[in-house]
Every structure is written in C-alpha cells, then in structure tokens.
Structure 1
Amino acid sequence: MSPLLEAEQAVLGAVLLDPSQLRQLGWLTPEHFHRPVHRALFAAVRKLHADRHPTSAAENAVPLSWVTDAVAEAGRHVRGLTASHAHTLISACPRPAHAPVYGRMVLEGAIHRSVTAHAIRLHQAARADALQREVEGALRCADVLRDVLTDLARRWGTEPRPVDPGTPPASSPAAAPPPGWAKGAEEEQILLGVLAERPKGMDEVVGWLRPDDFADPARGEVYRCLGALHHRGEPIDRITLLWEAQRRGLLADGTLSPGQIAAICDGVGPGSAEWLGEQVVRSSVTRTAAASARAIRALAEDEALAPGRLINHALYTLAPLDEVRTRWQAANGRPAPTSPAPSPNGPPSAQVHAALARSAPRPVSSSSAPPGAAPSPAAVRPPSRGHG
C-alpha cells in the first residue's frame, strides 16, 4: 500500500474517531482525496459536521451513530461502502491527533496529481493547435495551469514565485510532431530566403522574431547571421551571409554548410516577411507550450519534490512560454496581458491560515488544564514552516 493511500485512510479514520479534528482540516477538501470512496466519505463527515450532527461535538467517546450516519450519507454518492470499511479506516489511524499531518500528506498527493493532469491538458492543446495552425487553446490551458498553481500555493501556504529548478527534469521523450509543425519548417525556409533576397524585410520582423523561434537550430543560426548583418548595416547576399556564418564558426563545427546557405538564397519565392514571421512565431508558441508541459509533468511525477518547490519550479518552467506569447502578441498588434500586482499587505489571510493550520500543534484547552499548570512545550513551540 502506498504512503498516500495510508494517509487518506488515516485522516478519515481520525475524523471518524474524533470529529473535532475537522476544525483543523478546513483547508482540506474532498477533491484532494484520490479514491472516490474516500472523497465521498470525507464530504459526508464535513456535511454532518456543518449540519451540527449531535455527536460531532462529543468530548468523550464518540457514539457509533456518528460512523453509521457518515457511512449512510456517503453511500448516497458511491456504492459498496459499508460500516466494516469505515471501521477498517479507523483501525488504520495510528493517532487521531495527527490528523493535520495526515491531511497535509493527502494535500501533497493532490497537488502532484493536479499539476500532472493540467500539464497533460496543456500538451494535448499544444499539439491540437499545431495541427489546426492556432495558438489560443494552448495559451488558454497555460493560463488555467498558472491559476491552478497559484491556488495550490495558497492552499499549501507558500508564496507562488518562479524558482529555477537547476538541473532540468528528465522529461519523457517528445511524441512525433503533428503535421502542423512540418508545415512550419517549410515556412521557416521560405522566410529566410525572402529575408536574404529582400533585406528590408528584416525591419518588419526583427522586433519580435528570435532565432530560438525556428524549429531547426541551423535555420535559427542563419536568421541570427541575417540579424547581425542587418544590425551592422552591411549588405546581405549569399556571399556576405556565408562569410558571417564562417566568422561565427558555424561552418567549422558543421552547424551549417555552404550548400544549405546557397539553397536558402537561391530558393526564394514570393512572400511577405511579416506574414511568414508570424507563422514562425505561432509555431514557436505551440512548440514551447508542448516543451513546457512535458517538463512540468516530469516535475509533478517526481514524488520526492515538495509541493512548494514543485509549484515554483512549474511557474518558472512556464516563463519561456510567456516570453514567446508576448512576442506573438506584438507580431499581431495585441497588447500583452498584465500580471496582477502583489498585495502590499503581504500574503492573504487565507494563505497564512493554510500554512498555520497544516503545521500548528493542537492547542491545549484551558478548561482541561489544572490550575496553575505550566503550558506544555508543544503548546508554546512556534509552528514549523519548513514544508517546502
């Protein structure tokens, strides 16, 4: 049995044994549980507790009716749930007082699953857009993923901020590109020929088209050479382009060959540099979205990665897509979206509550403590915030 499944059983067993533990689990929702029967049972106990079930506030032994009513309520939404299963959950809970810790484990698993699911949707949308020669689906999914990451950070009690993961995660091999990307490679070749034949076309694209937008790194280097000649105000033709490539060592290291440059310069046809450049950037958007999705999925599938680090690394991995999206919008004359300004008063209270609720020890009731007794170390120890 996986640790996550044991944590789900333990938190359910804790609230069945001690309904008062639900007061410390306000940040945990039924959707955070992986198994449908666990989701239904946690929703049931939350409902009974909110409806002020007569036994939910019991201070001593909890009557059996609390368990049977919870099973009956959950049984309205799932099949096969019996009282014996509920007692199995109770026996799986080592310490009911540890319910917030078990709940944090459940939330951690939910964060990894949620990020994985949204990364898969982003990758699927990017491939569909490449096939249909569009970008809106991928950009919409990227916005949803960013909102999800921000919400998960608030639930986990951390500040969402991009953090470089350092060593890139070992993502799964890229699937075969759809036909849309093959069409983009053809447009890259035509664009370079147009720019070599009519250098003034560089003025139309140089502000938002970058070498990394080209699917083929060799064609990207040709565009870099064209940009360097244009920047210096030097003439552009087959000879000067070949000379620039040699000066950059592209011929010596095999990145380019004289034949490739000749094919670009001699194969020019009619075309608009601006329109072709837009197609190249559009293909770059979908490729970048797919690459970001694969990297984020690899991060989410790393069970050793703490949720706070996963969220911030995923936000960092979305940054290249934000950059190429901004240039795509510039190419189309659309204003770039503005990010919401951070709150000047610090993190929202709900975020602070989430961090404290999942870490703070249960306070000692003043009514139960003997008069004049000193507080226990657990009651005065500050809550730990080192959960990543």
Structure 2
Amino acid sequence: MKPLLRAEQAVLGAVLLDPGQLAALSWLAPAHFYRPVHRALFAAMRKLHAEGHPTLTDAGEVPIEWVTGSVAEASVNVRGLSASYAHTLIAACPRPGHAPVYGRMVLEGAIHRTVTQHAVRLHQVARADSLQGEVDGALHQAAVLADVLASLAHRWGTEPRPLAPAQSRTEAAVPPPAATEKALQDEQILLSVLVNQPAAMNEVVLWLRPGDFAEPGHGQLYRCLGALHHRGEPIDELTVLWEAQRRGLLADGVLTDVQVRGICEGCGVGSAEFLGEQIMRSSLTRTAATSAGAIRALAEDEALAPGRLISHALHALGPLDEVKARWKNATAEPSATTIPASADPPPPARIDAALARSQLRRPTRPDPATQTTHARPAGRAPTRSHS
C-alpha cells in the first residue's frame, strides 16, 4: 500500500481513537482524501462532532457509539463501509497524537493531485481552443489554475511566489504541441506581407515576437525583419536574405535561401494586423498547452514538496502570462480619449548610421548659387583703433 493511503487510514484511525484530534485538523477537508470511503467517513466524523455527539464517557473513554455512529453516518453517502473496516483504520494508526502530521501527508497528496487535475484540464482546453481558433477557454482555465495555486499555497502556509525549478527537473519538460497547417500558412503569409509592405511592420512590431511563430525558421526570419525595421534600413528580398546570412541562419540550416526567396516572393497581400492576431492566438494556446504539460510533470513528481511544487508551477505559468499580456495589447480597443500622436523621430546620428549601412553616401558640394560669402571687399584695408 502506498504511503499516502496509509496516511489517510492513520488520520481516520486517530480520530476514531481520539475525537479531540479534530480540533487540530480544522484545516483538513474531506475533499483532501483520495478514497471516496475515506472522504465520507471524515465528513461524517466532523458532522457528528459539530452536532455535539458524545465522544467521551464518564470514565474518559471513547464510547463504541462514536465508531458505530460515524460508520452509519458515512454509509449514507458511500457503499462498502463496515464496522470491521473501522477497526482496520484504528489498527493502521501508529499513534493518535501524531494525527496533525498524518493530516499534512494527506494534504500533500491532495495538493499534488489537485495541481495535476487542473493542469490536465488546461492542456485539454488549450488543445480544443487551438483546433477551433479560440483563446477564451485557455485564458479562463489558466486563471483558474493560478487561483488554485494561490489557494493551495495559503492552505499549505507558504507564499505563492514563482520559483524556477532545478535543471534536473526541467530536462524532462514536455515538448510544445505541433502547430496546425493553417498556423504555418498564416506565418508564411504574414512574412510575405511584411516583406512586400514594409510599412506594415508598424502594425505588429509592438506586440508580436519571434517566439510566437510555431516554425523556428519563421521566427528567425521575423527577427531579421524586425532588425531591419529597427535600424531604419530598407526591407526587400535581398536585404532580408543578407540579414539572414549575417546572423548565420543559412549556415546553421535554420533557413535556406530557397525558403527565404519563396516567402519573399509570395503574394504579399493581406492585413498584417489580422494575420498577427491569428499567430498570437496559436501562440497563446500552444504556450498554454506547454505550461500545462510542464506543471503536470512537476505535480506527478512525488518527491517534490508542496511548497516547491506550487512555486515551480507558478513559474511555469510565467510564459503564458507574458503572451497573455501581449495578446491583450494586440486586441485592446483604442481609447476614445487617447489622441494619436506621431512617435518622436530617431536621433540624426542614428539615422545617419542606419543609412550608412544600407547605401553609399557621396560627399555633397556647396551650390555656388546659394552659397553665402562673408569676405571683405577687396581694396579696403581693415581699420584698427589706436585709442
């Protein structure tokens, strides 16, 4: 028998032997027990104790009615419970005075089980949203998981603070789910639009990141476009190919010149903002599924203490929180009170540096027609004062 089930039996046996232990187990709930029969029996004992059931005789001993009454009350909600099993629970308790310690073992198992259940639910909802092109379900379930983690931290007695797990616990991280064919097509079309309509970079550059692309090569190509846009250099097929080569993407095999040319020579027609939002949807659901898989792997590690589990799970939700924040910025309605204003132009030195990297600069000659001279008239000597 697993230690967790033995701990559940020990808690119940301790309360059957000493009902006064319920006062020290006020933080333990019936739902924290794994077996239904254990949940029903603990709930029955709490109910009888709250209703003033006699738990001690005049001689200071626990009456047999306490045991039989608890079994009878629990049998109303669950089948298969008998008086003989109550004696099994009593025999499984090493020491009734250690009931709080046994209870924390039960709570620890409940925390692992609860985190696993919510992580599985988040993964399922994220996968369903990915197929339907939605994000509301994943966002809601992620918020529920975050609230559950905060509640579990409070019950366990720790602060809900994100903490990165050790390297050994991240090696078995669940890989991200494969992207759909539609998501890959949207990425290619968006990149083609950005190459053929460089001004469209302004529509997505503030909230779309290379990591949002499911295909790593597409993300690196978007990074090249962002670098050219940031430096103020022209964007076309050749400049993009050159930037990819300078970053070593062609040598490393991340991209090929055929792939780059194929994307750049695409139709280049469409709304960059709409396509960017589609990519963000896919990124959000994919990140949610990845975070859920990582949290589930952590929760299934029985050697991980509950406080560490909660902190590591909150850390695993960090990438999803970051994508969610950018998603809200991308889909936020413009404020009616906000007056659009043009961004401040970059410094002249930065403009000159960017232009110097993209084209040759010829020295300019002064125009004789517009040049202003300040020479003194010939034949007139300067005057000096000797006073």
In which range does the TM-score fall when normalised by the shorter chain? 0.7 to 0.9
2:129 is the alignment partner of 1:125: no
Deviation at 1:60, TM superposition (A): 2.6
Structure 2 distance, partners of 1:263, 1:97, is 74
2:330 is the alignment partner of 1:331: yes
Structure 1 distance, partners of 2:288, 2:147, is 16
Given residue 131 of structure 1, which amino acid in structure 2 is its aligned partner? L
Given residue 141 of structure 1, which amino acid in structure 2 is its aligned partner? Q
Hey, what does 1:170 align to over in structure 2?
Answer: 172
Note if contact 2:11-2:103 (Cα within 8 Å) is conserved in structure 1: yes
Please give the secondary structure, in 2, of the residue aligned with 1:111: helix
Q: List structure 1 runs of 4+ shifted beyond 6 angstroms.
A: none
* Matched residues, number: 332
Note if contact 1:138-1:289 (Cα within 8 Å) is conserved in structure 2: yes
Gaps of 5+ in 1: 336-388
Note if contact 2:177-2:289 (Cα within 8 Å) is conserved in structure 1: no
Alpha carbons of structure 1 residues 203 and 176: separation in structure 2 relative to 1, 3 Å: closer
Hey, what does 1:32 align to over in structure 2?
Answer: 32
Structure 2 distance, partners of 1:59, 1:28, is 29
Given residue 323 of structure 1, which amino acid in structure 2 is its aligned partner? E
2:18 is the alignment partner of 1:23: no
Gaps of 5+ in 2: 335-387
Deviation at 1:59, TM superposition (A): 7.9
Deviation at 1:271, TM superposition (A): 0.4
Hey, what does 1:288 align to over in structure 2?
Answer: 287
2:143 is the alignment partner of 1:151: no
Structure 2 distance, partners of 1:161, 1:129, is 28
Matches within 5 A, 1:34-113: 34-55=34-55, 60-113=60-113
Deviation at 1:95, TM superposition (A): 0.1
Alpha carbons of structure 1 residues 283 and 229: separation in structure 2 relative to 1, 3 Å: same
Deviation at 1:170, TM superposition (A): 1.4
Note if contact 1:288-1:321 (Cα within 8 Å) is conserved in structure 2: yes
Deviation at 1:151, TM superposition (A): 0.5
Please give the secondary structure, in 1, of the residue aligned with 2:325: helix
TM-score, structure 1 length as denominator?
0.83
Given residue 111 of structure 1, which amino acid in structure 2 is its aligned partner? I
Deviation at 1:54, TM superposition (A): 1.3
Note if contact 2:176-2:287 (Cα within 8 Å) is conserved in structure 1: no
Hey, what does 1:263 align to over in structure 2?
Answer: 262
How big is each residue's C-alpha offset from its partner over 1:68-99, in whole Å with a ceiling of 9 and x where there is no partner?
A: 00000000000111100001000000000000
Structure 2 distance, partners of 1:287, 1:315, is 17
Hey, what does 2:228 align to over in structure 1?
Answer: 229
Alpha carbons of structure 1 residues 318 and 84: separation in structure 2 relative to 1, 3 Å: same
Report the structure number with the largest CA radius of gyration. 2
Note if contact 2:30-2:43 (Cα within 8 Å) is conserved in structure 1: yes
Structure 2 distance, partners of 1:254, 1:58, is 85
Note if contact 1:32-1:110 (Cα within 8 Å) is conserved in structure 2: yes
How big is each residue's C-alpha offset from its partner over 1:138-179, in whole Å with a ceiling of 9 and x where there is no partner?
A: 0100000000000000110001110011321514566665xx
Structure 2 distance, partners of 1:235, 1:302, is 52
Note if contact 1:49-1:56 (Cα within 8 Å) is conserved in structure 2: no
Alpha carbons of structure 1 residues 261 and 277: separation in structure 2 relative to 1, 3 Å: same
Note if contact 2:32-2:39 (Cα within 8 Å) is conserved in structure 1: yes
Structure 2 distance, partners of 1:202, 1:95, is 69
Q: Percent sequence identity over matched residues?
A: 69
Deviation at 1:182, TM superposition (A): 2.2
TM-score, structure 2 length as denominator?
0.84
Note if contact 1:33-1:110 (Cα within 8 Å) is conserved in structure 2: yes
